[in-house]
């Protein structure tokens, strides 16, 4: 995987059935007109809106974060000026799946 100008690794992840086990997982897919969006950015922010991490979506439009339990904000940025924030509640042993239509 390489990084673009913002430093986020490009490539995304395969969202096959994931066993969260002892972790809290926040994942999802970014689509537009029913097709995956490559090169969108998913940012994980703490409850105060401070940056915690970022990934760029790959060919499948997917992203995944492993987070601590508690409230988070997921901010998704995509071409065409799309920017939306989604509140998520991470919980150990659970996979939170966020489907984004950009």
Whole-prediction pTM: 0.81
Q: Is residue 3 part of a domain?
A: no
Q: CA 33 to CA 24: how far, in whole Å? A: 30
Coil, helix or strand at residue 68: coil
- Name the residue range of residue 57's domain: 24-101
Q: Is residue 8 part of a domain?
A: no
pLDDT one-digit tens code per residue, 44-95: 999 999 999 999 999 999 999 999 999 999 999 999 999 999 999 999 999 9
Q: Is residue 13 part of a domain?
A: no
Q: CA 97 to CA 7: how far, in whole Å? A: 24
CATH of the domain at 97: 2.60.40.10
Q: What is the pLDDT at residue 34?
A: 96
Q: Is residue 56 part of a domain?
A: yes
Domains in the chain: how many in total? 1
Q: Is residue 76 part of a domain?
A: yes
Coil, helix or strand at residue 101: strand
pLDDT one-digit tens code per residue, 1-37: 444 444 445 555 565 666 667 889 999 999 999 999 9
Q: CA 1 to CA 55: how far, in whole Å? A: 11
Q: CA 8 to CA 84: how far, in whole Å? A: 18
């Amino acid at each position: 995987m390489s990084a673009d100008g913002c430093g986020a690794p490009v490539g995304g992840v395969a969202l096959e059935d994931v066993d969260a086990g002892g972790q809290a997982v926040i994942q999802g897919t970014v689509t537009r007109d029913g097709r995956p969006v490559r090169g969108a950015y998913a940012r994980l922010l703490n409850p105060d809106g401070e940056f915690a991490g970022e990934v760029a979506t790959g060919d499948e439009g997917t992203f995944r974060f492993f987070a601590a339990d508690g409230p988070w904000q997921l901010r998704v940025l995509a071409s065409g000026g799309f920017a939306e924030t989604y509140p998520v509640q991470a919980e150990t042993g659970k996979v939170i799946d966020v489907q984004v239509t950009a």
